[in-house]
C-alpha cells in the first residue's frame, strides 16, 4: 500500500490506521447525535 511505498514502519501504519478508524467512529457518533437533536 501507499504507506509501505513511503517507507513507514508497520507500527506507524498500525497507529495511523487506528487513528483514522477512531476519527471515523467519532465523526459518525457526532452525525447521529446531530440528527437526533433536530
Q: How many percent of the chain have pLDDT more than 90?
A: 37
pTM check: above 0.85: no
What's the CA gap between 31 and 6, in Å, rounded? 33
Assigned C-alpha cell, 16: 495511523
Residues 6+ apart with CB under 8 A from 13: 1, 3, 4
Task: Identify the domain containing residue 8 by its residue range.
Answer: 2-37
Of the two residues 37 and 19, the one the predictor is more confident about is 19
As given in the structure block, the three cell numbers for residue 28 are 459518525
Domain count, the chain: 1
Lowest mean pLDDT among 8-12, 15-19, 22-26: 8-12
Contact assessment for residue 17 and residue 4, using Cβ atoms and an 8 Å cutoff: no
Name the average pLDDT for the chain.
Answer: 84
- What is the pLDDT, as a whole number, of residue 27? 94
Residue written as grid cell 477512531:
22
Amino acid at each position: 500500500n501507499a504507506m509501505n511505498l513511503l517507507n513507514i514502519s508497520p507500527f506507524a501504519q498500525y497507529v495511523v490506521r487506528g487513528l483514522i478508524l477512531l476519527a471515523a467512529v467519532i465523526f459518525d457518533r457526532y452525525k447521529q447525535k446531530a440528527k437526533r437533536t433536530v
